[in-house]
């Protein structure tokens, strides 16, 4: 593994206290979202939506929805990472740039579209699983990208889902999966917590 990425994974820890006086500019925020969308997804669905919450008013709204967790207001930005349902319906459009770039043959794209329709169209549970898988991979990619840019990050699952959907006008097919905070830590970061022993959570078969 690339040494710097290895170190970054070993050093990353969740930050709860941010220096609210240090913002990120729009190009930094956009770059983080661009890097997040380089995450992989089934069939190359790209079945995600990212919302960067950075204005004072939007942060205040989100803090209320996230059980009053102060880091949502103090972080330079909090990303709402959503997964989207019915990914098969927009797959042909999602694959178009790969066809144009010559990185995916037309017959493979056609077979993926047919296969995705057969698997997902009548399976709302699979659509939801896929939305959560894709959003989670995008979230972790965003976290690593931010840490690699020298920022600190945190992850928040504690939020009121219906309230978030309403406050940020999410569409019926957009599922808010996780919030990711990013910015500059205000204090010395806590070290990463020790993990359960590998022998308990991993096996070689």
Ligand X SMILES: Cc1cc2nc3c(=O)[nH]c(=O)nc-3n(C[C@H](O)[C@H](O)[C@H](O)COP(=O)(O)O)c2cc1C
Write out the residues near ligand X by the rule CB under 6 A.
13-14, 16, 69, 154-158, 178, 192-193
70/114 with CB nearer ligand X? 70
Q: Is the dihedral of CA 137, 177, 142, 42 positive or negative?
A: positive
Shortest distance, position 77 Cβ to ligand X, whole Å: 16
Identify the residue whose tokens are 């020790």.
Answer: 194
CA 171-178-190 angle, to 5 degrees, is 160
Shortest distance, position 12 Cβ to ligand X, whole Å: 7
For residue 151, give both structure tokens: 């920022």
Shortest distance, position 98 Cβ to ligand X, whole Å: 31
78/127 with CB nearer ligand X? 78
- How far apart are alpha carbons 61 and 67 in whole angstroms? 11
- In sequence order, the 6+-apart residues with CB closer than 8 A to the CB of 91 are 43, 44, 45, 112, 113, 116
Identify the residue whose tokens are 């970054």.
Answer: 8
70/118 with CB nearer ligand X? 70
51/156 with CB nearer ligand X? 156
């Amino acid at each position: 593994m690339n040494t710097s990425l290895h170190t970054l994974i070993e050093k990353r820890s969740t930050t709860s206290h941010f220096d609210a006086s240090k913002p990120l500019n729009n190009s930094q925020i956009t770059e983080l979202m661009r890097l997040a969308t380089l995450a992989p997804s089934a069939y190359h669905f790209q079945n995600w939506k990212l919302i960067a919450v950075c204005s004072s008013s939007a942060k205040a709204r989100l803090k209320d929805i996230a059980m009053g967790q102060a880091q949502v207001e103090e972080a330079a930005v909090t990303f709402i990472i959503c997964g989207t349902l019915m990914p098969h319906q927009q797959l042909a459009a999602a694959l178009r740039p790969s066809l144009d770039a010559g990185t995916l043959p037309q017959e493979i794209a056609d077979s993926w579209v047919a296969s995705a329709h057969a698997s997902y169209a009548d399976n709302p549970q699979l659509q939801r699983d896929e939305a959560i898988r894709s959003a989670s991979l995008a979230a972790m990619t965003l976290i690593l990208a931010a840490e690699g840019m020298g920022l600190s990050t945190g992850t928040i699952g504690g939020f009121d889902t219906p309230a978030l959907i309403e406050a940020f006008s999410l569409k019926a097919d957009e599922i808010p999966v996780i919030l990711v905070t990013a910015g500059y830590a205000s204090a010395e970061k806590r070290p990463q917590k020790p993990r359960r022993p590998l022998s308990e959570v991993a096996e070689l078969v």
